[in-house]
Amino acid sequence: MQKLKSLLSPEIKIQNTVCTADLKQHIDIASFNKYEYLSSNLNLYKCGYVKDDKMVGRVTVFESGKLISVGTKSPEQAKKELNKASRILQNYKLSKSVRITSQVRNIVSRFDLKRKLDIVTLARTLPKCMYEPEQFPGIIYRLQGSCVILLFSSGKGIIVGAKFIDEINSALFELKIRINQKLSN
């Protein structure tokens, strides 16, 4: 985790990392409620969950063997929790031993520019942005690639869609440059 923090720009905090993997086998999620750390409510959702006392997030398990980790604060932590969920399922003989390959799908982070913004002016001048205050109180700013920034007049914002830490840093860097260009004119 320390390594990750040194890579992130200081004003960025990761809120959630979504990571997936596939066990490539059928999983009996109907039996989950019999075991410690496993749960399901098949009347509500067609999946089960793995969460032990030391996990930060939780892992959703589908009958197909697909796994989704949510709620962790780094890609490394998400991958560890997917592996842990796989081991727990193996210990209960609900899955066979398999090497899983995880993929980061989305890193959600927040930032604070520590200054108020003229969001109306920014909305008129930022490319690829949308601002409809009746629908949503912030600018939805689409960057090149997969990142989207939700930016509010408070100077706070959220970056979604990143798959790598570098994308988060680049998104914030680009936003700062554009804000400085537009508001200094």
Q: Is the pLDDT of residue 135 over 80?
A: yes
Same domain, 97 and 37: yes
Does residue 6 fall inside a structural domain?
no
Sign of the torsion angle spanned by Cα atoms 135, 136, 138, 139: negative
Q: What tokens were used for 151?
A: 């930016």
Burial 37-68 (b: 16+ CB within 10 A, else e): bbebeeeeeebbbbbeeebebbbbbbeebebb
Q: How far is CA 101 from CA 67, 78, 145, 158, in A?
A: 11, 12, 24, 28
Does residue 11 fall inside a structural domain?
no
Total of domains in the chain: 2
Does residue 10 fall inside a structural domain?
no
The answer to whether the CB of 46 falls within 8 A of the CB of 63 is: yes
Final residue before a domain boundary, out of 67, 88, 105:
105
Categorize the per-residue pLDDT at 5 as very low, low, confident or very high, splitting at 50, 70 and 90: very low
Same domain, 71 and 23: yes
Q: Is the pLDDT of residue 6 over 70?
A: no
What is the CATH classification number for the domain harbouring 148? 3.30.310.10
Task: Say how many C-beta atoms besides its own lie within 10 A of residue 135's C-beta.
Answer: 8
Final residue before a domain boundary, out of 105, 130, 163:
105
Final residue before a domain boundary, out of 46, 71, 105:
105
Categorize the per-residue pLDDT at 36 as very low, low, confident or very high, splitting at 50, 70 and 90: very high
pLDDT of residue 61: 98
Q: Which domain holds residue 92?
A: 18-105
* Mean pLDDT of all residues in 3-19: 81
What proportion of the chain, given as a percentage, has pLDDT over 90? 84
Same domain, 101 and 117: no
Same domain, 125 and 99: no
Task: Give the CA dihedral 37, 88, 105, 23, nearest 10 degrees.
Answer: -130
